[in-house]
Structure 1
Amino acid sequence: MVRTEILDAVRAYTDPFRVTSGNDFFLKNFDPGDTLGLKMHKEEALQLLQRGSKWLAMEQEILYAQDSWSVLLVFQAMDAAGKDGTIKHVMSRVNPQGCDVISFKQPSAEELSHDFLWRYGRKVPERGHIGIFNRSYYEEVLVVRVHQHLLDAQRIPPARLGDNLWDERLADIARFEDYLTRQGVVILKFYLNLSYGEQKKRFMERLHNPDKHWKFSASDVRERRYWNDYMHAYEAAIRATACEAAPWFVVPADNKPFTRLVVAAAIVEAVEKLDLEYPKPTQGQMKDLAAARAELDAEAVDGTTPDQPGGDPGH
């Protein structure tokens, strides 16, 4: 399938959820249960996802060979929204050598001794690679905004902790992303939009299934108490940082197969737009290829191993 056909096929899944300007953005306008009216069976959704993963694997190989662009995928969501499963299924066919998944945990003492973007900038994917941030620098304007006592550990000078702190951090993030895009980093940001009711349902499933107990933490329920605060923080973050060069996708997360389909479509669309091609060999490389071909053609047609100098042909 040629690129134009691929782009036409995936836009139906990406356009309704893409946010490139925050001026008129309100989270309430995006339904966590939306499936665009599709009543597909799980098997049908899986087939579409596998097709998208296959396209992505093909493009990733060219991305790696070209060694010019890189792709950064940022995933943010409330607990139980399905980040890990989405990453696993969408990237299932991607070559691990060209893909890095980073899950940012509680910052270390060294990381707390630097500016809030320091540890994230060190993990930006190198050229030719896809980098996945499972949670990211947006935590600094989400969880830290909801739990402002976390700022104490960052030891910011009191004179810099003004009323505009969160607006300033969001502006810093927008400038950081602008800088990266101008260096050839393609940035896609996914907010997996889970409903309050669906989160409770998934928490209960984990509690009732012994095989899923390891996924559950009491802190998950404690964080649920701050749901409205988090929604306000997410809305503010998306409004301040959505742009054409680094768009947000507010992906419905109540239906897992549809979530994965939208994420896969967005990634395929972005990489296809790069119009990547395998690098063409230089004249010097062409000479080396010709010499190698001639040497192989000159070998014995029966494929036997040549005798080693000074060796005993009887052994």
Structure 2
Amino acid sequence: MKSINPDDFKVIGKIDLSSIPTNLFNGNSDDEKEDKLDKVQLKLSEIQDVMYAHNRYGVLICLQGMDTSGKDSLIREVFKEFNSRGVVVHSFKTPNSSELEHDYLWRHYLVLPEKGKFTVFNRSHYENVLVTRVHLEYIMNENLPGIETVTDITPQFWENRMQQINNFEKHITQNGTIMLKFYLHMSKEEQRQRLLRRLEEQKHNWKFSTGDLKERDRWDDYMHYYEEAINNTSSEYAPWYVIPADDKEMARYIVAKIIWEEMQKHTDIKEPEMDGKIRENIEMYKQMLKKED
């Protein structure tokens, strides 16, 4: 299998999503992909253990993608070997009445990762420059000053909002949050096949919603806004990675490998040294415990 280089997927300049493949790797067996992922899963769980003891960083993973792009299953598989206390997943739905009484970033601040832990945003603050651009009427629920009708929502409004997101991400990363953002890049045809599978396989029927078809009708709009959001918010401190997602198994491995490779750059993450006085008396403590046999 071809080695994974994070820089091959990292957004470091302007991108055109229509020119980026949604399936890069062909010919790899499922067993091979599963074996590769298994090994990275264990490595990630080990770094989380060390990170917990180090207690200086939290890690925020943001996942974005169209319906059926594989976000849920990716979370399940990539973080499968973690201590359950070491990873927290938040899925952001339509803001509730309490959340709408605050600015759009408020609910995201509340659930940022604690030091020593990973947090995964399944959909994220980026919904506020994606779905709200496709459905401008959603902005009206925020009751913003100067926005009386959707005609008041200008291009400058979106530029301001993306700059606010950049400021938010810069703030949290300067205060100990390692942030990685992944866009699961799936083809429209692959989404069609996955939606059909939800209808044809009874065990997947519950996943289907007529809303999926309505959003699919706006595919081109979503691609345009995804591209614009990624181009305006990929930074060195909070980079975007565009992951080919037509092959779910390969997408999981690529994301896991990128997280692992990026974590290796933080060479200061180490287990703390044992207290000197304890180390001096370690043999005595061992003998005390052995005498209890």
- Place the TM-score, normalised by the shorter chain, in its bin: over 0.9
> What per-residue deviation string (whole Å, max 9, x for no partner) do you get for residues 220-255 of structure 1?
011001111101110111011011111111000111
Measured in 1, the distance between the counterparts of 2:129 and 2:279 equals 52
Identity of aligned residues (%): 35
Which residue in 1 is equivalent to 2:73?
A: 85
CA displacement at 1:12 relative to structure 2: 2.8
Which residue in 2 is equivalent to 1:53?
A: 41
Which residue in 2 is equivalent to 1:214?
A: 206
- Say yes or no: does 1:200 pair with 2:188: no
Which residue in 1 is equivalent to 2:171?
A: 179
Residue pairs, 1:44-123, within 5 angstroms: 44-123=32-111
CA displacement at 1:86 relative to structure 2: 0.8
- Say yes or no: does 1:295 pair with 2:285: no
Which residue in 1 is equivalent to 2:144?
A: 156
Measured in 1, the distance between the counterparts of 2:278 and 2:257 equals 36
CA displacement at 1:162 relative to structure 2: 4.8
Based on CA coordinates, which of the two structures has the bigger radius of gyration? 1
1:10·1:266 contact (CA, 8 Å) conserved in 2? no
- Say yes or no: does 1:26 pair with 2:11: no
- Say yes or no: does 1:265 pair with 2:257: yes
The runs of 5 or more residues in structure 2 that have no matched partner are: none
Check 1:170–1:283 CA distance in 2 against 1; reply closer, same or farther (3 A cut). same
> What per-residue deviation string (whole Å, max 9, x for no partner) do you get for residues 112-142 of structure 1?
0001100001111010000000000000000
1:193·1:251 contact (CA, 8 Å) conserved in 2? yes
> What per-residue deviation string (whole Å, max 9, x for no partner) do you get for residues 15-64 of structure 1?
2111134xx221122111222xx421010010001111111111111011
1:11·1:265 contact (CA, 8 Å) conserved in 2? no
Which residue in 1 is equivalent to 2:180?
A: 188
Measured in 2, the distance between the counterparts of 1:285 and 1:228 equals 63
Measured in 2, the distance between the counterparts of 1:290 and 1:111 equals 55
Which residue in 2 is equivalent to 1:254?
A: 246
Measured in 2, the distance between the counterparts of 1:46 and 1:52 equals 10
Check 1:111–1:11 CA distance in 2 against 1; reply closer, same or farther (3 A cut). farther
Measured in 1, the distance between the counterparts of 2:46 and 2:205 equals 37
TM-score by length of 2: 0.93
Deviates more, 1:61-70 or 1:11-20: 11-20
Check 1:224–1:170 CA distance in 2 against 1; reply closer, same or farther (3 A cut). same
Measured in 2, the distance between the counterparts of 1:67 and 1:170 equals 30
Q: Which of 191, 204, 227 is 1:235 aligned to?
A: 227
Measured in 1, the distance between the counterparts of 2:273 and 2:114 equals 21
- What SS does structure 2 have at the residue aligned with 1:158? coil
2:244·2:251 contact (CA, 8 Å) conserved in 1? yes
Q: How many residues align?
A: 288
Check 1:10–1:137 CA distance in 2 against 1; reply closer, same or farther (3 A cut). farther
- Say yes or no: does 1:128 pair with 2:116: yes
Measured in 2, the distance between the counterparts of 1:64 and 1:148 equals 42
> What per-residue deviation string (whole Å, max 9, x for no partner) do you get for residues 172-226 of structure 1?
0011111111111110000000101110010001100110011111100110011
Which residue in 2 is equivalent to 1:282?
A: 275
Measured in 1, the distance between the counterparts of 2:188 and 2:253 equals 22
